[in-house]
Amino acid sequence: MESVKNSRKLVMFSCCFLLINIYVLVGAQDGAHKYVWQTKLLNDLLANYHKGVPPSLNGSPGPAVTVDLRFSLVNFDFIDEANEVATVYGWFYQAWNDPRLMWDPASYNGTDVMKINANDVWLPDIEMFNTGTVVQNLDSDVMVYSTGMVHRVPSVQITFICRMDFKFFPYDNQVCQLKFGSWHYHADVIILTQSIDDIDLSSHERSRNFELTNTSAKRNVMKYECCPEKYIDITYTLHLKRVSSAYSVKLVLPAALTGFLILATFLLPPASYEKITLCGLIFIALLLQLIYLHDIVPASGDTILGDYFAFALFIDFFATIIAAVSYNVHVRSSPKMQQHSSIMMKEMEGDDRDLRMKMPQNQSKIGFLRYLDFVCFVIFGIVFIVGMAIILGRRG
């Protein structure tokens, strides 16, 4: 009885194993069968296909190809601000209809979509028109449907020139434009459309240096002097605001503190030689800050902060000259003052007319220098406050 049970178990196990093998073989044959049909479909589609010719029926010129263009932004940043070079990472969604790639799914075992290498089919020559642009397409496949619809979503890395306005640096706002269109074909061959009126930001990653405040997309139909035909382009605009917290600590705060030190030099006694030393140290500090600003901003960039540094250097230079003259007057007048003081002590009734003439003259010089220091303190203080108010007001 026990042997009968074991025999039944063995038979059941053998049947299960056989069914599994049959299922695997059938699935493999079905997969191979689908692969054979896709291979046949690909060969039939590309047999008389010319990828250099825009889509047309039966090889004859057809209507203009409508290409739907959408842009999804992933990341944006300036890689070289001194040369105004920016880079963009994202995806381009392109869709168009190519009647030469239509087929009947029933004739190919129900196959209704095929992935084809982009180098084997016609592609719209969409290029970026910005100066100095380098576009790298990082995907080379297209999805083709039985209706003839072709979808392509390449990931792109775009390096281009974006003209910047550094006037209110580091609290500046920048506007960059990316202009795309067909490089060779006019509107009678390729019609660019946009199914979305803006940039797709669903995958956007915030930049470390700039915050994206606004975006827009505009379709333009242009007629150039060179050609009678019209050309279509789509221009994407990025509005950016600099993340200025780091520059506030490294540049703006030192500039403000250095400005206060310049004001302090006008409060020191005119005859103090320490005033000359302080003015020299401030001059060096301003030069170092100006060099740091020059490394960030291009030579053609005009900034309020740069004008502030230039004005501060001039005021500090002026303060140094005044300090040197004041100290020189003090040193030259001191021996005479001591000599006349001794004469006063010894000859109370002598002719001290020269003494009374020279002492007021020396005191009047020192008084004039003090008055000059006060005037410079007031003028530079007003300019300093107004300048910082403009810069900080721009920040808000």
What percent of the chain has pLDDT above 90? 8
Computed over every residue of the chain, the mean pLDDT equals: 77
Region 328-333: mean pLDDT is: 70
Region 357-368: mean pLDDT is: 56
The residues pairing with 144 across neighbouring beta strands, listed in sequence order, are: 114, 150
Distances (CA, A) of 24 to 3, 13, 35, 244: 32, 17, 16, 63
Q: Does the predicted model carry a pTM greater than 0.85?
A: no
Q: How confident is the model at residue 366 (pLDDT cuts 50, 70, 90)?
A: low
Listing DSSP states for 138-188 in one string gives ---EEEEETTSEEEE--EEEEEEE-----TTTTS-EEEEEEEEEESS--TT
Angle at 244 between CA 238 and CA 249, to 5 degrees: 170
- Residue 335 clears pLDDT 50, i.e. is over it: yes
For residue 63, say if its preceding peptide bond is cis, omega within 30 degrees of 0.
Answer: no
Q: How confident is the model at residue 333 (pLDDT cuts 50, 70, 90)?
A: low
Torsion of CA 304, 305, 308, 312, to 10 degrees: -170
- Residue 94 clears pLDDT 50, i.e. is over it: yes
**How distant is the alpha carbon of residue 35 from its chain centre?**
47
Q: Who has greater pLDDT, 172 or 36?
A: 172
Q: How confident is the model at residue 175 (pLDDT cuts 50, 70, 90)?
A: very high
Q: How confident is the model at residue 136 (pLDDT cuts 50, 70, 90)?
A: low
Region 182-208: mean pLDDT is: 85
- Residue 209 clears pLDDT 60, i.e. is over it: yes
Q: φ and ψ at 198, to 5 degrees?
A: -155, 175
pLDDT at 362: 53
What's the one-letter identity of residue 71?
F
Are 390 and 383 in contact by the 8 Å Cβ rule? The answer is no
Domains of the chain: 65-243 (2.70.170.10), 246-395 (1.20.58)
What's the one-letter identity of residue 100?
R
Per DSSP, the chain holds a count of helices (H) and strands (E) of 6, 12
Region 166-186: mean pLDDT is: 87
pLDDT at 4: 44
Encode pLDDT of 238-282 as tens digits: 999 998 888 888 888 888 888 888 888 888 877 777 888 888 899
pLDDT at 394: 54
Q: Who has greater pLDDT, 365 or 18?
A: 365
